Structure 1
Amino acid sequence: MLPIHQRLTLYSNQERYQFVPADNLGSPSLSVNRATGEIQLSRHDSVPNNARRSNHKIYGILGLISLALGDYIVVITNRDSKGKLIGNHVYQATAFAILPLNPDINVQSPPHPVEAHLLKLLRAHLDSGIFLFSYEYDVTRRMQVQWQHHNRDADKGMWEVADDRFFWNKYLQSRLTEHAATVDRELSHYILPVIYGTFDARPAFLHGRHIQIALISRRSRYRAGTRYFRRGIDQDGHVANFNETEQLVFVENPQQKQVSDVPSYSHQFSFVQIRGSIPLFWAEVNTLRYVPDLQIMDLPITDLALRTHLEEQVRLYGSQHIVNLVNHIGHEKPIKEAYERHVAQAKVPHVAYDYFDFHTECKRMRYDRVSLLIDRIGADLEGKGYFQLNRGDDRPMKVQTGVVRTNCMDNLDRTNVIQGALAKWTLNRQLQAVGILPPNASIDDYESTSKDFRELWADHADLIAQAYAGSGALKSDFTRTNKRTRQGALEDGVKSTLRYLKNNYFDGARQDAFDLFTGAWVADHQSLSSAIITDTRPLVLRSMPAVAVFSLFMICAGLTLPRTSDYSLLYYFVLWSTFLALSLVFVYLHGIDYVSWPRLLPLTDIIHYDGPGFREAHHGKGFGGPKSKAKSVNRWQPNHSDLSIHGEEIEMGHRKRVD
């Protein structure tokens, strides 16, 4: 692949930004006109005399984004090395700078509150995300695919061969990629694909052989978002919280003393698993209750969307083995039954379905019983195999012909336990195949290696959960120690509380940030409507939390007041206790109005869906019930024209996905 510049020096004046390669001084520099946004490469040393050199070291250009009042260039100003893959550094971007093209805009104090809000969303996404990249290794694609196309990719830019699903900054790079495709391919040296995911690599030493175990996950940019505001599928077959997880194992050449670079590896292994939301049109509607209202929307296009999703997975990965972990009773039962019904109706070739009753089989903290599932699907796992490339061979010894697609309700905690168990099962067989482990042995027999492996998967689980749900993974004590403990259960209680608070009171802005960064919502001058920053709820709705807080304050204050008898303040406490109770009841009955909902792409039609399907309840919609609430909700929710529940089909005039 064409190399990417690893360090840039930035010069700027009122007319343009100019990026000069610091690692290859003879290469053309990249110039962006601040008035027109025009991109061009300068073939000679053409830095203007009046240009000011930036103090920042630039480690890559994340891309350009349009907000309400102008365009901005986002650059990486700091990076941390997370380890190496086949001798190539993998970095995490840790600091960014936002450069306005309009010289009259100061990003620290924008001239309009809407622009300030959008910039705040952009910064929040940059600061909270895990953005990984490599200048030499394509982190968007699994090893098997890179090997299959290595000859074809030799003279292409990394952006041209990157996996479209995991090219997280593709929307921001769209102007650069268009210019490189139509005007000047040399611009490819500046286009850096970034993934949103996880990466870690651990060395190990077993039976006299050095090995390296690495884990990389890639999050899809399609239907991206937060736990309760992105569920299910869209009309194009993209599902929420889709992650591809690749476990890589490198074994040293016996003639080498340690693992150092590509020639030292006698064996390279790759094992891939995927996870994703249940591919139906469904949601859990937040109402401030701990368990949201489950809603399944039985739309005419459900089977088509499901088939589109599964057929794409078969095309990309080979045969699919679906492992469904949702409960067969209680709150989750309807979604389990709907999933099974639609999978049976779709009849997609090369797709197998397996249900594992996780909570029943593993009750009383018996998480070791996941072995029952592995015993059941072991033959299919053997058949799907893994990728193995031996040193000196022209062709791989093995290729992976299919994957296991695991899901629970959130595709987080139960899914993490199962994927970690399948990864360990496969790792044991890989090390047995090359003679490092004896037959029927396990890395669990070697505490040091086993500990590193468990921590690798536990850290990976925490980061995926943090990105989607707002807290570390539950049940991670089992992943880290191979045991379910009471302390771990208590920690899970704390994490669940944290998730509740974030999902109900903070995730609206987080979802808006995802939609802004990925291009699901596109800003222009019409975006300056104050609706996306103004609380337009009726006064009575806005005032009730304040009434509750003030009433509680007065009750506490009353405890310090002097009294002549035990009954002297009775009426005082009755009065303020009544105000407190009534205000809390009001908030409870109108819970939907106190959730932090997304504002850029409102979910009004999902919240008040009344078509065919299943709705567990209509909590939180006030005294008048769901119908009266549905008629009046648009009075205080952002109205961007007609909305559709079909995910990417949502259109708001100028606001739609642009790739």
Structure 2
Amino acid sequence: MDDDVSSFVQIRGSVPLFWEQPGLQVGSHHLRLNRGLEANAPAFDRHMMLLKEQYGKQVIVNLLGSRGGEEVLNRAFKKLLWASSHAEDTPMINFDYHQFAKGGKTEKLENLLRPQLKLHWEDFGIFTKGKNVSPRLQTGAFRMNCLDCLDRTNSVQSFVALEILLAQLESLGLNSKSITERFVESYKAMWTLNGHNLSRVFTGSRALEGKHKVGKLKDGARSVSRTIQSNFFDAVKQEAINLLLLGDFFSEEYADKGKMLMDHTALLVTPSILKAMSERQFEFTSFKKMKSEHCHLKIELF
């Protein structure tokens, strides 16, 4: 508003474990955890430390379901957090969205989820800065996820954003009912568009709606489109991502060995070199037993 600014940051990110969805995905989510919990712990710890450094206190809002592959991932996520040093200061709010608020039922979010989130967003506060407002800082953030961080995540994040919007408008001195109503309608449209755009990038189709008969018919068509996209075109997208991140892409076997032996900068080599280094690893590594709470193998690079 003129030179006055107000903001509230939310984070969305997939479950911070090493996992994938192999094979055909039709009707249900088949998941595979690539590493045990101990092997996941260092990456999880780095991820949480980075979030805390950048955004302050973290509250995890986990929207995963309690059936099939989602339940496996859900359980592993909880165990990883509980076993980490972050368990004491990082609450996890578990809300099975498909069970309690399927179809984006706002009244369910209002009655069941809002009371759990409200104390935290009041604790975080909002950011404000400008000539006509009192300076305030946001001291923490929600880290929200479902499986693919699309429809469910967007639904709950937009719900939180609309709740916070009223406090933001008040901080800017925009208290009249007519202005608030106009902001709310515009904000809803923005969040809907945000959901569609994210969904297009990730799945090639618009976000699911499911609130009325026509919406459910459209959702059926979009679900078919997503199934085709994820099963037949995602591999090419993943190769493109690997190419951008690593400079090349290579077979999963040598990629995993390379990641264990070298840091990510050393992986910027051609597949043939990576293969040779993996096959000759015993020429430049040694193994020693370490005494600790758990028995580990130490790899030393020369």
**Structure 1 length as normaliser, TM-score?**
0.38
Q: Is the 8 A contact 1:470 1:503 kept in 2?
A: no
SS of equivalent residue, structure 2 residue 239: helix
- The CA distance in 2 between the partners of 1:304 and 1:340, in whole Å, is 16
Paired residue for 1:425? Answer: 163
Q: Which has the larger radius of gyration?
A: 1
- The verdict on how the C-alpha distance between 1:358 and 1:293 changes in structure 2, with shifts beyond 3 A counting, is closer
Q: Is the 8 A contact 1:643 1:652 kept in 2?
A: no
Paired residue for 1:293? Answer: 30
- The CA distance in 2 between the partners of 1:272 and 1:508, in whole Å, is 32
> Does residue 254 of structure 2 align to residue 514 of structure 1?
no
Matched pairs, number:
265
> Does residue 115 of structure 2 align to residue 375 of structure 1?
yes
Encode CA deviations 1:317-355: one digit per residue, 9 max, x unaligned.
000010000002333111111111110001315322111
SS of equivalent residue, structure 2 residue 270: coil
Displacement of 1:513 in angstroms is 2.4
SS of equivalent residue, structure 1 residue 286: coil
One-letter code of the match for 2:116? R
- The verdict on how the C-alpha distance between 1:281 and 1:510 changes in structure 2, with shifts beyond 3 A counting, is closer
SS of equivalent residue, structure 2 residue 135: coil
Seq. identity, %: 27
Displacement of 1:361 in angstroms is 1.4
- The CA distance in 2 between the partners of 1:409 and 1:508, in whole Å, is 18
Q: Is the 8 A contact 2:6 2:172 kept in 1?
A: no
Paired residue for 1:410? Answer: 148
> Does residue 84 of structure 2 align to residue 337 of structure 1?
no
**Structure 2 length as normaliser, TM-score?**
0.78
One-letter code of the match for 2:208? L
- The verdict on how the C-alpha distance between 1:281 and 1:442 changes in structure 2, with shifts beyond 3 A counting, is farther
Encode CA deviations 1:192-250: one digit per residue, 9 max, x unaligned.
xxxxxxxxxxxxxxxxxxxxxxxxxxxxxxxxxxxxxxxxxxxxxxxxxxxxxxxxxxx
Counterpart selection for 2:56 from 301, 318, 322: 318
> Does residue 93 of structure 2 align to residue 354 of structure 1?
yes
Query: Unaligned regions of 5+ residues in structure 1, if any?
Result: 1-250, 252-263, 478-483, 523-599, 606-641
- The verdict on how the C-alpha distance between 1:352 and 1:497 changes in structure 2, with shifts beyond 3 A counting, is same
Runs of 4+ residues over 6 Å off in structure 1:
none
One-letter code of the match for 1:511? Q
> Does residue 13 of structure 2 align to residue 273 of structure 1?
no
Paired residue for 1:302? Answer: 40
Higher relative contact order (CA 8 A, sep 6+): 2
Counterpart selection for 1:454 from 188, 195, 209: 188
- The verdict on how the C-alpha distance between 1:501 and 1:384 changes in structure 2, with shifts beyond 3 A counting, is same
One-letter code of the match for 2:246? A
Displacement of 1:420 in angstroms is 0.4
Q: Equivalent residues in 2 for 1:6-17 (5 A)?
A: none
RMSD: 2.7
- The CA distance in 1 between the partners of 2:68 and 2:25, in whole Å, is 19
Q: Is the 8 A contact 1:280 1:302 kept in 2?
A: yes
Query: Unaligned regions of 5+ residues in structure 2, if any?
Result: 274-302
SS of equivalent residue, structure 2 residue 31: strand
Q: Equivalent residues in 2 for 1:138-287 (5 A)?
A: 251=1, 264-265=2-3, 267-287=4-24
Higher helix share: 2
Paired residue for 1:471? Answer: 205
- The CA distance in 2 between the partners of 1:473 and 1:437, in whole Å, is 32
Higher strand share: 1
Displacement of 1:374 in angstroms is 1.9
Counterpart selection for 1:503 from 211, 220, 230: 230
Q: Is the 8 A contact 2:64 2:147 kept in 1?
A: yes
